[in-house]
Amino acid sequence: MHERDPRRRQDPPRRQPGRSSDPRDSGDYVLGRDGKPLVDRYGRPVRRRTPQRPPRREAAPQQYMPPRREEPQYRPAPASYRPPAPAPRRRKKRSFRPLKTVGALVAIIVVLGLSMLLWADAQLNRVQALPEQRVANTAGTNWLLVGSDSRQGLSDEDAARLGTGGDLGVGRTDTIMLLHIPTVGQARLVSLPRDSYVTIPGYGDDKINAAFTYGGPQLLTTTVESATGLRIDHYAEIGMGGLANVVDAIGGVELCPAEPINDPLANLDIQAGCQTMDGATSLGYVRTRATPMGDLDRVDRQRAFFAALIDEATAPNTLLNPLEFFPLVGSTAKSFTVGKGDHVWNLARVGLAMRSGVQTETVPVGGFADYAVGNVVLWDQAGAQALWESMR
């Protein structure tokens, strides 16, 4: 191996194309704080080491693999083992909101109805009407219905409007009726003319309405029991003003007089035919005697009026209409006088009996006579006894 000739010109250092020969101009060397390239122990510039990164590869999509389910290993159950009872199946709750709403409305109506009933019962006027000495008990239920000529509570204007002038005292009865409600069958409504000549216990023979003047409701009940042999179970009385108020509360009643009636004393002037009468006109209609048969015609009109009043008061359009029902209950409760043991539900029983049909009649009359007490009505004793016997 020969040595290099020192005289031979040395070749310049090779340069890479596109790069500066000065190491400081290259970004491949590590520079120090002074900006000069660092050299190693051999005096060679230190090149910057750039790690070669492998090309980035797209990761292959992985498919979902569910975890492997290991099969449980079963062991035989002991002989004393009992499987647990299955849990009860929970039933789906049903919605009862409509039923609850209806139930609440029914409860409210019942409470209001009971409250109204108790209030009306407390408004009734009560008197001692049943006698101490009673006749033997008879079949069915017997009511003594009385319409008095009482002007109590009427102002001068009301008296003029209703035509109730004259004696303003209390103590006479214009209407006396006996309502018999049998256990089975149709009710019977019998009119007793107020001038009927009967025996009043303790006062002798007189007109039947005089008993009310002498001893009030109790003596009148005693007289009716003595004359008929029927046991009176209930008593109800209404005055002139009360009757007119009840009629006005239900908007009037329909009556059908067979002939025109003009009675200035009763403040009545009506034509023949069916018509709706208000309270004042109805009161005059049941009081007047300005017809050929006088008092006998009047008792017929009184029964017709009473039946029409009950029919209108118990009609569905009245019971279901608050504007008529509540005034009716209030007027009825304040207008009626009943016995000590009578209540508003007993009066409702009268309405139901009349609503289902009633047979009306007048006690058989045998004639008229003039006595010291005035002109009186004489009963047909045989016919009257047969009537009372059929009701006993």
Give me 340's structure tokens.
């000590």
- C-alpha span between 237 and 338 (Å, rounded): 6
The DSSP string of 93-129 is PPP-HHHHHHHHHHHHHHHHHHHHHHHHHHHSEEE--
pTM over 0.85: no
| Topology classification of domain 126-391 | Aminopeptidase (3.40.630)
In 3D space, the residue among 316, 238, 245 whose CA is nearest the CA of residue 282 turns out to be 245
DSSP state of 39: B
Task: Please report, in tens digits, the pLDDT of each residue of the chain (392 residues total).
Answer: 455 555 555 555 554 444 455 555 555 777 878 878 888 888 888 877 766 666 677 766 777 777 777 777 777 777 777 778 877 777 766 666 777 788 888 888 788 878 877 888 888 889 999 988 888 888 889 999 998 876 555 666 666 666 665 554 445 788 899 999 998 888 999 999 999 999 999 999 999 999 998 999 999 999 999 999 999 999 999 887 788 888 888 888 999 998 999 988 888 889 999 999 998 898 889 888 888 888 888 888 988 888 888 888 888 887 777 777 777 777 777 888 899 989 888 888 888 888 778 888 999 999 999 999 999 999 999 999 999 999 98
Q: How many CB atoms lie within 10 A of CB 204?
A: 8
Q: How far is CA 159 from CA 96, 198, 327, in A?
A: 58, 32, 22
| Exposed / middle / buried, residue 246 (Cβ in 10 Å: 0-12, 13-18, 19+) | buried
Please identify which residue in the block is written with the tokens 């006005």: 248
Domain ranges of the chain: 126-391
